[in-house]
Amino acid sequence: MTLTVAIASEFDPYDGEIYRYLLETVLRVTVVKWTGTFMFSGYRTVAKFAPAFLTAAAGHNIQHAILAVDNDGGARRRPEHAENHEPTVFALDDDDVCRECWLTQALPITWGASGGRSCVVVPVQVIETWLLAIRGDELIPTAEQKYNRSAIKKEFFGRQIPPLAQRIALAMHELQKPNALTILGERPSFNRFVNRLRSWE
């Protein structure tokens, strides 16, 4: 079975590919990523263009979508999502709020009303945190790491960010480890992602 999923992520060639792979692993189906002609650059564009993106996806008869941004925050700012968060209306430039709630409200009502299924993903702090966890790195971030996304990325990639193909290869090296999903299961942000995906089944 093949599932086409519209994936809106901060940097599609890299993040999008990781999410596509994770979808395949969790759902156990072949997943084809669709982004159309959209180009996302940073977390804000994902929320900003979500309505147009999902409308375009629906136009291609795509019924499944992932919206993914990094949390990039910590205790003082951008708190991690909790199930008891009240549905709130956030402005697009609200910056110190729960990013899962913030991104969820960017989903257009028409998408769900027409049968579209969606999943909001917000790795805490960034997607490389998940990869570092699989690699076995100590995950008690310093204050700087907690608020500085580039510090976490460098911890995973090294000082110089490598070319895209190598970044994907490094990520896949971790994600394809036999115990990857077990380790990721200890990350609450990953668990929320998986639970939402399971509701698609």
Partner 1 sequence: MRRDIRQALQLNESVLLNGKPVFSNNGIVGQRSQAVFQNSAFAWRSGITIPNLREKFPDNSLVNEVEDIFASVTKARHVHLKLESLRGDNAVEPTPSVGDGSQLAAVVTRWILEFPETYAKYNDFIARCLPEMKRVLIRSSQSGQVRLVFEQKDGERFDATQVSDGVMFFAGLIAHALEAPSRSLVMLEEPERGIHPRRLAELIDLLRTLVHEQQTQFVLATHSPVLLNLFRDEREAVLVFRRGPKGTVVQRLADMPELADTLDRADPGELLANGVFNESITAE
Asked if residues 120 and 67 have their Cβ atoms less than 8 Å apart, the reply is yes
Nearest approach in angstroms of CB 165 to partner 1 is 8
Considering only 1, 2, 28, 37, the residue that binds partner 1 (CB under 8 A) is 37
Please work out the total of residues on this chain that contact partner 1, with binding judged by CB under 8 A.
22
The total of other beta-carbon atoms located within 10 Å of residue 49's CB is: 17
Tokens of 30: 């072949």
Q: Which residues contact 16 (CB under 8 A, 6 or more apart)?
A: 7, 9, 33, 35
3-state secondary structure of 64: strand
Is residue 13 at the binding interface for partner 1, with CB under 8 A as the rule? yes
The answer to whether 153 contacts partner 1 (rule: CB under 8 A) is yes
Among 160, 178, 179, 199, binds partner 1 (CB under 8 A): 160
Q: How many helices (H) and strands (E) does the chain have?
A: 10, 4
**Which of 29, 32, 39, 52: binder of partner 1 (CB under 8 A)?**
39
User: Can residue 112 be called a binding residue for partner 1 (CB under 8 A)?
Assistant: no
Those residues with Cβ within 8 angstroms of residue 40's Cβ, 6 or more apart along the chain or in another chain: 8, 9, 10, 11, 12, 46, 49
CB 127 within 8 A of CB 141: no
Q: Which of residues 62-81 bind partner 1 (CB under 8 A)?
A: 72, 77
Which of 99, 146, 149, 192 lies at the binding interface for partner 1 (CB under 8 A)? 149
Of 59, 87, 115, 163, the one binding partner 1 (CB under 8 A) is: 163
Q: Is 147 in the site for partner 1 (CB under 8 A)?
A: yes
Q: Which chain residues interact with partner 1 by CB under 8 A?
A: 11, 13, 37, 39, 41-42, 44, 72, 77, 95, 147, 149-150, 153-154, 160-166
